[in-house]
A and B are shown apart, each in its own frame.
Chain A
Amino acid sequence: MGNAAKAGICHSFSADGRCISLLKVLMTNVCVFDCKYCINRESNDTPRAAFTPQELAELTINFYRRNYIEGLFLSSGVIKNPNYTAEQMIKALELLRNVYHFNGYIHVKAIPGADSELITRLGLLADRMSINIELPSQESLRLLAPSKSKESILRPMGLISTKIQENRTDLVKYRHASRFVPAGQSTQLIVGATPDTDHKILTLTEGLYKKYGLKRVFFSAYMPVAENSLLPAIDTKPPLIREHRLYQADWLLRFYGFEAKELLDEQNPNFNLQVDPKCNWALNNMDKFPVEINRASHEMLLRVPGIGVISAQRIITARRNGTLDFTSLKKLGVVLKRAQYFITCQGKIMEGLKITSDSTIRTLMSDQYKLPSYQEQLRLFDEPFISREEVQQCLTAQI
């Protein structure tokens, strides 16, 4: 039963505004590892329980039949040892796929330290696999996740990425070759648990896209779960704005043709919390503006603050039929609030626009303290079904 729809389908939105698409559960919260930032770490006194593979399969299929979910996102604490854990997960997924004939979406976390053979079997059952890097540097890992190492994370990540490559050629050769994680792999990084800078995180992210062909990198603002001298104090607020800026920058890398080094460098290693990364880039590159709407290249249109992928596309289409002015831009649905400072139409700036540095900066920053949306974070598919406009309304600051 079922299909793995291509465009992401959100089945609900949680109270914090994130898309709920998958049943996100742990096989068990028992764990023999002791990652300092995790609530399930061995040394934490918390009630433990486990699903049997049968229970998990039944729950998934019953949620799926009622259209509550698009599929399953299965993760687990490490019970007994990594191999045993992976085997339990394989059992559950085999039940789902072979007994219940479930064709819906499955995202599974690879367990660090499990044998390659087991990782491969998981990969043949899942649509997407992920291994969370969590901490952006070897040093932070050593301090906070002593049972994990850069090696134990990057090795399976490399394995998955090679398997995906091999599978592509296999699929060309043999039409019936089984598919290995057809929806690719992703990872997550924790933001704010360690002193690592945005520059470090973003450069790592870019590398992961390029080197391992990852589909998505997710960021998660650190929520204190334990008193530990190595971690931020327990009453520290999660760095939500910072997480939001990283997501914006991630979009710029993936859809807007930016490179990490254009956005941050050693001298400015962290994002400006007041201004979004695209605006920030524009303000640092004022010599490239204003751009003429009727002539600018697609690439350059994408770099104008306030103009998103859809707006840029509509401008390109509409200007084939004649010259555009500010009224036509409004008809196209282009939001001018930010863009107006960076564009001209037929050589003219927008009528009545006063560029005093003070009012400009204020408009560009006006949304700064509104809580951004995190619906991006849980989106497990690549094509957003929600229009860019809607997301932007929520992101408050247009990128």
Chain B
Amino acid sequence: MLDGTDLVYSYDGTFEGLMCCVFESYECKESPCLIRPPSVQQTIFDTSKWIETDSQKADRVYNSIPVKISSEAQELVKLGFLTCEENKELLILRFLRLGFKVGGKVMTMLTDEVVCSLQKAVRHLTSESHKFKGFIRFSVFGEALVAVIEPKNYVLPLLSAHFCDRYKVEKFMIYDKTHSVALIYQSNRAELIEVEGLTLPNVDSTEAKYRLLWKQFYNTIAIEGRTNPRCRMTLMPKRYWNQMTEFDNMSDLFQIQVQVAETKQAIPNDINKTADKTTRYQIQGS
């Protein structure tokens, strides 16, 4: 299939656009060596061919996948598009070309370079999104829950169902800093919108209190004499720590303590009492 050309497609960066690239490649019987989204800089050497997005063409390609290959293949392609794999466009094109040739069997060709790479990229995506289901931290601002993440892959579409179900009666926002997008949910409706930047207001005393309690819980639950930093790092790589309450840096912790100290009057004794309990309670019982 690779004919050594230096043909480059450029497209608008949407999934539909990519489907049109697939269409084009069939129609003109050519295989590009690169499919470039707008975010990638053009080099002076490539003479790229602009592929116009046409939703009819896109639908024809997309709808033929479950018929000619399988619905699992369609799912894989959809997910593949969300991955941070550098050459995802080309991988998807080659995967589809192979699939249209051999049919549903393509999904089991695990030792094929293209199939193997695409599945690996998708595994990276799904495992990252699964990690975020746990590692995302919300802060409460007034009525709303707000979280910030910095994922490698475009995980928000995969997180949407889980968090909408979890916080059915809440309002929440998850801001993806990497891709400048936010998932916003209120009154039973979820939306993905582009967001350039986000400045959050200061946290109030209740928020500060629960952050502190959580840190204390986190710090007490590790069993002394069993610390295993290497293992923790494998299971929860450092890049996630940035946005996790339990790893707020010391100055932050200090700030919270100050705030807590200041608001002590408002919520008498409460903080220390409950904090004390969480601290003391990580022990065996019954």
Contacts and interface: CB of A to CB of B under 8 A. Distances in A.
B110 A11 contact: no
B211 to A, nearest CB: 8
Chain B CB within 10 Å — which of A10, A324, A393 has the most? A10
Interface residues on A, range: 35 or more
A205 B109 CA distance: 40
B264 interface: no
A321 B284 contact: no
A394 interface: yes
A390 B285 contact: no
A24 B284 CA distance: 10
Interface stretch (A14-22, A159-167, A275-283, A355-363): A14-22
Interface in A41-73: 47, 49, 51, 55, 59, 62-63, 65-68, 70
Interface in B213-262: 213-214, 217-218, 221-223, 225-229, 231-232, 234-236, 244-246
A394 B235 contact: yes
Interface in A319-356: 320-321, 324, 328, 331-332
B231 A373 contact: yes
B254 to A, nearest CB: 20
Interface residues of B, number: 58
Contacts of B286: 31, 75-78, 109, 111-112, 132
A112 to B, nearest CB: 7
A5 B228 contact: no
Contacts of B276: 49
A49 B246 CA distance: 25
Contact of A3 (B134, B165, B221): B165
B229 A55 contact: no
Contact of B225 (A5, A14, A67, A223): A223
Most buried by B among A5, A13, A24, A386: A13
B57 interface: no
B277 interface: yes
Interface string A75-108: 1111000000000000000000000000000000
Nearest to A55: B274
A16 B225 CA distance: 8
Interface stretch (B76-84, B166-174, B191-199): B166-174
A40 interface: yes
Contacts of A112: 286
A226 interface: no
B228 A29 contact: no
A314 interface: yes
Contact of B282 (A2, A21, A24): A24
A63 B235 contact: no
Contacts of B116: 331
B226 A63 contact: no
A237 B224 CA distance: 12
B281 interface: yes
B285 A75 contact: yes
B108 interface: yes
A66 B138 contact: yes
Contacts of A1: 166-170
A374 interface: yes
Contact of B245 (A24, A59, A68, A385): A68
18 contacts: A9-B133, A10-B236, A12-B218, A14-B222, A16-B222, A17-B228, A17-B235, A24-B282, A26-B281, A40-B284, A62-B210, A68-B217, A314-B110, A318-B108, A324-B111, A371-B231, A386-B235, A390-B234
Given A12-B236, A12-B244, A20-B221, 18 more contacts: A1-B166, A5-B162, A17-B228, A18-B221, A19-B235, A38-B284, A59-B213, A66-B140, A68-B245, A223-B223, A238-B226, A317-B110, A321-B108, A321-B109, A321-B110, A332-B110, A371-B226, A375-B235
Interface of A: 1-3, 5, 7, 9-21, 23-26, 29, 31, 38-40, 47, 49, 51, 55, 59, 62-63, 65-68, 70, 75-78, 109, 111-112, 132, 223, 237-238, 240, 314, 317-318, 320-321, 324, 328, 331-332, 371, 373-375, 385-387, 390, 393-394
Q: Please list the 6 inter-chain residue pairs (A to B) with the smallest Cβ-Cβ separation, ordered nearest first.
A: A17-B231, A15-B222, A16-B226, A14-B222, A17-B228, A75-B285
Interface of B: 105, 108-111, 116, 123, 127, 130, 133-140, 145, 147, 162, 165-170, 210, 213-214, 217-218, 221-223, 225-229, 231-232, 234-236, 244-246, 274, 276-278, 280-286
